[in-house]
Amino acid sequence: MSAKALLNFGNTKSDASKLAQKAEKALETYPFDDISPAIALKINPRAKRMALRLDVKKRVVNLVIPKRGSMRSAYLFALEHKYWIRHKIDELPDLITFENGVQIPILGVPHEIKVTLDTTLKTTSIELKNKEILVFSNKEDVTSRIKRFIVAHAKAELTALANKKANEINKIIECVDVKDTSSRWGSCSYDGRISFSWRLIFAPMEAFDYVVAHEVAHLQHMDHSPAFWHACEDLSANYSKGKTWMKRHSEDLIRYN
Ligand SMILES: [Zn+2]
């Protein structure tokens, strides 16, 4: 891993590529890598001042630089905060990959992944058992296959629970989708479409249940008014426990990869 130039915010395409080149050049000119290889330079035309922001999912610290900010001062800014940057990166929980012998929580219950390699098999099959995820495959690397299985399982569980809760308040969900978002665990649109992060499947049941209740309650109230929170509480199995868990531990959900 080495420091990167990132750019998502250019006003126009040519503007964006100019700013990206500026950031690339800064990486060649100044030893950002010595501060930390996990720095990403992000020139943002809308930024008013320099800032450091941890991106938990990408495991980088974004150094946000205003359009007219000098690259030398950006480097000095990062240098000044090098201990903060290193500390934030070191503090990130270890990633957990889907491989043989690894334990992952499914709705809070630890499940051990057990891979049986069998070269005579034609296809890979995966079963979710009591406290195990049993994988039978002719391939050695089954991590992406296991991930797809878990995403599909998450989607099925989220859809079933969301429909059940919507039914309780006589609402209909247009569709339930799963995404890989790390800052928004769920969203609900005016036309009744609900999306969730598939990673919610790793949360304890009450937290999973709370996020589903939250989005379903938005079918009734498209705001966060007291009436909304009442509806959300009514729809939740254990509202305060679920909400508190999400507040304190939701970043843990990003560990599984
Ligand atoms: Zn909300």
Cα of 175 from ligand 1 centre, angstroms: 17
Both 165 and 83 in a single domain?
no
Cα of 109 from ligand 1 centre, angstroms: 27
pLDDT of 16 over the 90 cut: no
The pLDDT of residue 91:
87
pLDDT of 11 over the 60 cut: no
Of residues 126, 123, 131, 130, the one with CA closest to residue 149? 126
Cα of 215 from ligand 1 centre, angstroms: 6
The pLDDT of residue 131:
95
Cα of 164 from ligand 1 centre, angstroms: 19
In a domain, 15, yes or no: yes
**Residue 234, domain CATH:** 3.30.2010.10
In a domain, 38, yes or no: yes
- β-partners of residue 5 are 41
| Mean of pLDDT values over 32-48 | 91
Location of structure tokens 């969203």: 187
State in Å, rounded, how far the first CA of the chain is from the last one: 18
Distance CA 96, CA 80 (A): 32
pLDDT of 248 over the 80 cut: yes
| Mean of pLDDT values over 229-247 | 96
Cα of 92 from ligand 1 centre, angstroms: 27
Both 11 and 84 in a single domain?
yes
The pLDDT of residue 10:
47
Cα of 196 from ligand 1 centre, angstroms: 12
Cα of 214 from ligand 1 centre, angstroms: 6
In a domain, 163, yes or no: yes
Distance CA 173, CA 250 (A): 25
Confidence grade of residue 178 (pLDDT, cut at 50, 70, 90)? very high
Cα of 188 from ligand 1 centre, angstroms: 8
Both 186 and 250 in a single domain?
yes
Cα of 217 from ligand 1 centre, angstroms: 8
Residue with the bigger pLDDT between 251 and 34: it is 34
The pLDDT of residue 22:
87
Both 238 and 156 in a single domain?
yes
Both 156 and 61 in a single domain?
no
In a domain, 232, yes or no: yes
Least confident interval from 6-10, 11-15, 39-43, 54-58: 6-10
84: tokens are: 């903060």
Cα of 234 from ligand 1 centre, angstroms: 15
Confidence grade of residue 2 (pLDDT, cut at 50, 70, 90)? low
106: tokens are: 């499914």
- The whole domain housing 213 covers 147-255
Location of structure tokens 């501060």: 35
User: Mean pLDDT score of the chain, rounded to an integer?
Assistant: 91
The pLDDT of residue 19:
85
Both 84 and 152 in a single domain?
no
Confidence grade of residue 220 (pLDDT, cut at 50, 70, 90)? very high
Both 81 and 178 in a single domain?
no
The pLDDT of residue 85:
94
Cα of 232 from ligand 1 centre, angstroms: 9
Q: CA 89 → CA 31, 60, 94, distances in Å?
A: 18, 7, 10
Cα of 236 from ligand 1 centre, angstroms: 14
Last residue of a domain, one of 71, 91, 111: 91
pLDDT of 21 over the 70 cut: yes
Both 250 and 151 in a single domain?
yes
Task: Label residue 223 exposed, middle or buried (CB < 10 Å: 0-12, 13-18, 19+).
Answer: exposed
Cα of 187 from ligand 1 centre, angstroms: 7
In a domain, 157, yes or no: yes
- pTM, two decimals, is 0.76
In a domain, 108, yes or no: no
Number of domains within the chain? 2
In a domain, 113, yes or no: no
Last residue of a domain, one of 91, 107, 124: 91
Of residues 52, 50, 57, the one with CA closest to residue 87? 52
In a domain, 60, yes or no: yes
The pLDDT of residue 58:
84
Confidence grade of residue 67 (pLDDT, cut at 50, 70, 90)? confident
Distance CA 174, CA 172 (A): 6
Confidence grade of residue 4 (pLDDT, cut at 50, 70, 90)? confident
Confidence grade of residue 88 (pLDDT, cut at 50, 70, 90)? very high
Last residue of a domain, one of 91, 110, 125: 91
Cα of 186 from ligand 1 centre, angstroms: 8
The pLDDT of residue 72:
93
pLDDT tens-place string over residues 125-176: 999 998 999 999 998 889 999 999 999 999 999 999 999 999 999 999 999 9
Both 176 and 248 in a single domain?
yes
Both 245 and 157 in a single domain?
yes
